[in-house]
């Protein structure tokens, strides 16, 4: 993965946005994607890029989180 500054910033913002929306700490996000808290901190502070495996796992988590919510019709929920 190339280390262009704008790419680092974009990736950092995606990490922060997912954490904020999902109410995750750096520690919790790290556990979900198989990294450590320091790695998440370095990525979010633009000091490093995620390794390919970390990036793939993050992208999978982000995709699952961004799935549209399915709303069931009320008559399906009624008892």
pLDDT at 74: 66
Instruction: Quote the CA–CA distance of 65 and 59 in Å, as a whole number.
Output: 10
pLDDT at 44: 96
1 against 61, higher pLDDT = 61
Instruction: Quote the CA–CA distance of 1 and 33 in Å, as a whole number.
Output: 18
**14 CB-side CA count, 13 A:** 17
Q: What is the pLDDT of residues 5-26, one digit of tens each?
A: 678 999 999 999 999 998 999 9
pLDDT at 79: 47
Indicate the CATH number for domain 5-65.
1.10.260.40
Cα 11–chain centre separation: 9
Residue 10 CB neighbours (<10 A): 11
pLDDT at 78: 52
């Amino acid at each position: 993965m190339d280390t262009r500054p704008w790419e680092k910033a974009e990736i950092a913002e995606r990490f922060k946005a997912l954490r904020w929306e999902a109410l995750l700490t750096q520690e919790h996000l790290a556990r979900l994607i198989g990294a450590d808290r320091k790695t998440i901190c370095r990525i979010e502070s633009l000091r490093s890029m995620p390794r390919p495996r970390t990036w793939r796992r993050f992208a999978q988590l982000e995709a699952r989180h961004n799935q549209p919510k399915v709303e069931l019709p009320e008559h399906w929920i009624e008892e």
